[in-house]
Amino acid sequence: MITRETDYAIRAMLYLAHHAGEGAISAAEVAEAMDIPYRFLRRILLRLVGKELLVSTRGKQGGLRLARNPEMVSLLDIVQAMDPEVITLNSCVLKSALCTRSSYCAVHDELCRIQIFVNAELGAISLARLVKHESGREDDLPQR
Amino acid sequence: MITRETDYAIRAMLYLAHHAGEGAISAAEVAEAMDIPYRFLRRILLRLVGKELLVSTRGKQGGLRLARNPEMVSLLDIVQAMDPEVITLNSCVLKSALCTRSSYCAVHDELCRIQIFVNAELGAISLARLVKHESGREDDLPQR
DNA sequence: GCCATATGATACTATCTTCGTATCATATGC
DNA sequence: GCATATGATACGAAGATAGTATCATATGGC
Ligand code: FES
Ligand code: FES
């Protein structure tokens, strides 16, 4: 399950992708536009900077911008940056030791198979694709 | 994310599928064989009976058995029985109202697409298939 | 230089969820 | 009638989640 924190991270990245090439954008602007509690968002952005998905500039006129092209950032990148354990269907997918049946559990194989598919799908969804997909409904988007 | 409770439910169903046609099996036996806390399992089994995945017999010689053929019970059935909100990648997949962007959020569509796939996959995995898959490693299985 | 504005870093708290336990009631076979 | 089994809830500890608060530090413009 994608947590709300990760959901916010995705929305923030999406907003910054929409305004890529417009220079640094402040956390306050993102918070208001995307309807995210400001202080909560600050901590999230800090993390995204630390994971090198964003670059920040301090001081007046400072703010955030994408560290890479929107084509080069996937949903998986964001999800993994926020939560190292990602979405994982079942914890045994990560640590099979948790399941005492792990040496012979057929469920494990099936879940891993699905998990691999999910990760591949998330990895294939770039911010650019999402932006493009939304651009057809430009009117609905919060304007700067 | 599949919770541990649901994981236990799957293991219990799997054990009962392995011993389908052998009459009622007690919760105590399942608990010991599958390494699940007895009282916790009791509550889980109660739920599975309520959702009509299991049928129970009370009193001496009583216990549980599958309500349907192992071919007719999927992982999705079990997961849905334990947690109505299933695995859901993101809560907005369920209640789009939660996301203020829901009317135009491209993420939503993508997540729903993946979710549908995951559910279809889980729905295609029957207990019979899992039992069959494990039967090649019969030696590893806890014996009755 | 000073100050408004911006991020960096971390500590703290309330609430919810998860995992598990405990208790008592009820049914049934021998 | 009694051991054995499930039915139904209530309770509790621990952890995760969502959000707040506080301080430090950098920087552009006056
Ligand atoms: S290894 Fe995951 S349920 Fe068994
Ligand atoms: S509707 Fe789910 S992230 Fe927007």
The model carries a pTM of 0.88
User: What is the distance in angstroms between the Cα of A41 and the nearest Cα belonging to chain B?
Assistant: 16
Return the number of other C-beta atoms located less than 10 Å from residue B17's C-beta. Answer: 21
Is residue A133 pLDDT above 90, yes or no? no
B43 domain residue, yes or no: yes
B32 domain residue, yes or no: yes
Smallest-distance ligand from the CA of B105: 2
Is residue B94 pLDDT above 90, yes or no? no
B71 domain residue, yes or no: yes
* Counted domains in chain A: 1
The strand ranges marked E within chain B are 54-57, 63-66
Residue A132 sits in which domain range?
4-84+126-140
Report whether A118 contacts B118 (CB < 8 A): yes
A93 domain residue, yes or no: no
Tokens in use for B62? 């009583």
CATH number at residue A134: 1.10.10.10
Å between CA of B125 and C1' of D6: 29
Mean pLDDT of A91-95: 53
Tens-place pLDDT, residues A94-114: 444 345 555 567 888 888 899
Residue scoring higher pLDDT (B143 or A30): A30
pLDDT, residue A92, reads 61
Which residues of chain A (7-66) touch nucleic strand D at CB < 7 A? Answer: 8, 37-40, 42-43, 57-62
Residue nearest to nucleotide C5 (CA to C1'): A60
Is residue A124 pLDDT above 80, yes or no? yes
pLDDT, residue A87, reads 61
pLDDT, residue B103, reads 59
Angle at alpha carbon of residue B126, lines to B142 and B143, rounded to 5°: 10
Tens-place pLDDT, residues A31-48: 999 989 999 999 999 999
A60 domain residue, yes or no: yes
Is residue A128 pLDDT above 70, yes or no? yes
The DSSP result for A84-95, as a single string, is TT-S-SBHHHH-
Tens-place pLDDT, residues B101-137: 555 678 888 888 998 999 999 999 999 999 888 766 5
User: Which of A121, A127, A129, A135 to probe by mutation at the B interface, max B CB count within 10 Å?
Assistant: A121
Tokens in use for A33? 């536009």
Angle at alpha carbon of residue B43, lines to B37 and B49, rounded to 5°: 125
Is residue A88 pLDDT above 90, yes or no? no
A114 domain residue, yes or no: no
User: Chain-centre distance of CA A24, in angstroms?
Assistant: 19
Asked if A97 is an interface residue toward chain B (Cβ–Cβ < 8 A), one would say no
B96 domain residue, yes or no: no
Is residue B7 pLDDT above 50, yes or no? yes
- A68: exposed, middle or buried (C-beta count within 10 Å: 0-12, 13-18, 19+)? middle
Q: Which of B90, B23, B131 is nearest to A125 (CA)?
A: B90
Ligand 2 centroid distance, CA of B109 (Å): 8
| Residue carrying structure tokens 């001496």 | B60
B92 domain residue, yes or no: no
CA distance B70 to B72: 5
pLDDT, residue A105, reads 74
The strand ranges marked E within B12-124 are 54-57, 63-66
Tens-place pLDDT, residues A36-85: 999 999 999 999 999 999 999 999 999 999 999 999 999 999 999 998 77
Mean pLDDT of B81-97: 66
